[in-house]
């Protein structure tokens, strides 16, 4: 089964780039049947790639919270009424809805949300985001190994 990992976020806004960095790391693993794409935001063009796979995992940062959230992995799917919004307002479920609308296909989909502390300008991850990234990568590595 072909799996696509899409990690997204702005690497110039601190912890917001944690999903992007996760996808970069997964890409380096070079696992069979796994592709990893990193991007700054979800765009409509991703629908074509999503339509070609059996499974997609979206990786993104949670909004900063006090106390920080744990990593969260949940099954997602397009819902009735999901509309495509551009830019930072886009959401994985809307991209799944667009994929269904354009290609009449929706793969099994998951969202992996990683904790953050700050989204100030800068390229460094906070300690909370670094820990969440490490935990998320361990989770992804184990999960991707199971489904191979």
Work out the mean pLDDT of the chain and round it to a whole number: 91
What is the sign, positive or negative, of the torsion defined by CA atoms of 97, 25, 27, 71? Answer: negative
Q: What pTM does this model have? A: 0.93
Query: Which ranges of the chain have pLDDT less than 70?
Result: 80-89, 148
In this prediction, residue 56 carries a pLDDT of 98
Beta strands in 18-132 (DSSP E): 34-39, 55-61, 72-76, 108-114
Number of separate domains in the chain: 1
Residue 46: CATH number of its domain: 3.40.50.1450
Tell me the per-residue pLDDT of 24-42, one tens digit each, with 9 for 90 and over: 999 999 999 999 999 999 9
Two tokens, residue 8: 């997204």
pLDDT on residue 68: 80
DSSP codes joined into one string, 77-128: ---TT-----GGG--HHHHHHHHHHHHS---EEEEEEE--S---SBSPPPHH
Instruction: State which residues form the domain around 116.
Output: 3-146
């Amino acid at each position: 089964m072909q799996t696509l990992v899409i990690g997204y976020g702005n690497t110039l806004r601190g912890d917001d780039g944690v999903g992007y960095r996760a996808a970069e790391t997964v890409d380096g693993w070079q696992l069979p049947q796994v592709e990893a794409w990193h991007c700054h935001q979800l765009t409509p063009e991703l629908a074509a790639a999503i339509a070609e796979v059996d499974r997609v995992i979206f990786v993104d940062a949670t909004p900063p919270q006090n106390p920080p959230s744990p990593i969260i992995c949940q099954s997602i799917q397009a819902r009735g009424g999901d509309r495509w919004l551009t830019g930072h307002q886009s959401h994985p479920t809307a991209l799944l809805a667009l994929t269904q609308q354009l290609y009449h296909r929706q793969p099994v989909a998951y969202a992996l949300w990683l904790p953050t502390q700050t989204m100030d300008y800068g390229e460094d991850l906070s300690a909370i985001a670094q820990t969440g990234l490490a935990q998320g990568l361990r989770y992804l590595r184990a999960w991707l190994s199971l489904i191979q």
